[in-house]
Homo-oligomer: A and B are copies of this chain.
Amino acid sequence: MPVSKLVRRREPAEFTRQEFEHRVERARKLMVKAKLDGILVSSEMNLEYLSGFTTQFAWNTPTRPWYFLLPLKGKAVGVIPEIGITNWQATSWCQNLLTWPSPRPENEGLDLLTKAIKALPRRFGRLGVELGDESRLGMPVADLLRLGKMIRPFELADAIPVIRELRIIKSAAEVARIKHICGVANDAFDRLPDLVADGDTERDIVRKFQAELYLLGADKTPYTAIGSGKGGYDSIIQGPLPRRLRKGDIFLIDTGTKWGGYFCDFDRNIALGKPTDKARRMHDLLWLSTEAGIKAAVPGNTAADVYAAQAKVLVDAGIVLGNVGRFGHGLGKNMTEPPSNKPGDATVLRPGLVLTIEPSAMYDGNKIMVHEENLVVTDGKPKLLTRRAPREMPVVAW
């Protein structure tokens, strides 16, 4: 079980001031359309996206909320607990701060927020907050409802349509980060056959794989799932279990790993000993299905088209489609973002949209197999951000 030493690799540069100016400028244009006088964010991904504030701390301790207020006109402001001043000043472009001594359960920054919001120029009378699809609030709901009363005559409105449109198109600097972490994970996958030792359980393999990801340059690996079983696995989101791997098993590792605030999200299949013909055929068909999905990821096509292209390969071969609900999704600061590659998702692809291509198929009753690659849509052909999986399933001799 050889584990590598620390590998130092060239990393993407810090985001420039222009990167954030561009985000703010785009946000403000969208805010006018959405009739919002300001946007207040408290969730990890949206606060980090707009302010640049980078921390492990804030998102691991729900005791203290953290806020960023971006007005349509005027200065943005961070409204944060005193404990975070140094951390904020070192990482955010916005040096305008309001702070309070937290924990203070009776008033976790609500008075400061109210004052800042009421001072906004009131054109529409609406403050955008995180309410809608695929959002998670970074503060207690009771505090949001209380704030809604305190800021009257401003009304709370949904900021998520604005944020969705902002974040769905990635800048070159964002794409570079996703590509970087894809490279780290690809390297870890390349070493996976050497990490697997006789007697290992799923848990052992995931521990070693996660350690490898760090030594190869990852910041965090929030998601490293594994599925294994004789001739194939029956879950792609579960594990690691204490199950011991055996000759004849096929296993899958799927990882959502992060660098610089951005995720990769892809998987690889490995056979321990020669796989069955059935499993080899499934792997081949899924590889071809992925190929079709990649080809379909061009401007003008919809997310539904990308699904249809993948599904066609499998359906034409008489294969039952996977029961996952979609064949890939947006990727960025979240491991899964809009759109969904599924029937009915009419999101039109544009350059800068980063997608996973992820067909899955059922076989031998309850077995499922899945493939996944990450790409960015361009003016021409899509650019792969992962190194393409081999068409033949990798086999570890056991």
Contacts and interface: CB of A to CB of B under 8 A. Distances in A.
Interface of A: 1, 3, 5-6, 8, 55-57, 60-64, 81-84, 86-87, 90, 101-103, 105, 129-142, 144-145, 158, 160, 204, 207-208, 210-212, 214-215, 217-218, 220-225, 234-235, 237-238, 241, 256, 323-326, 329, 334-337, 340, 342
Nearest to A90: B238
> Can you tell how many copies of this chain the complex includes?
2
A51 to B, nearest CB: 15
A14 to B, nearest CB: 9
A204 B139 CA distance: 33
Nearest to A323: B82
A218 B166 CA distance: 37
Given A103-B342, A214-B214, A222-B222, 15 more contacts: A1-B6, A3-B215, A56-B223, A60-B336, A62-B336, A83-B323, A86-B234, A103-B325, A105-B134, A131-B141, A131-B142, A132-B142, A135-B141, A141-B144, A207-B215
A144 B215 CA distance: 41
A241 B56 CA distance: 12
Given A82-B323, A142-B158, A223-B57, A137 B137 contact: yes
Nearest to A141: B131
Contact of A3 (B5, B329, B340): B5
B57 A237 contact: yes
A62 B334 contact: yes
- Nearest 5 pairs between A and B by C-beta? A57-B237, A211-B211, A61-B336, A131-B142, A211-B214
B222 A63 contact: no
A57 to B, nearest CB: 4
A263 to B, nearest CB: 8
A210 B83 CA distance: 24
A397 B8 CA distance: 24
Contacts of A237: 55-57, 83-84, 87
A56 B142 contact: no
A133 B105 contact: yes
12 contacts: A55-B238, A56-B224, A56-B225, A63-B336, A83-B325, A103-B326, A105-B133, A105-B134, A131-B140, A131-B141, A133-B142, A207-B218
Contact of A60 (B144, B215, B335, B340): B335
A65 to B, nearest CB: 9
Nearest to A100: B325
A57 B141 CA distance: 24
Contacts of A337: 63
A101 B135 contact: no
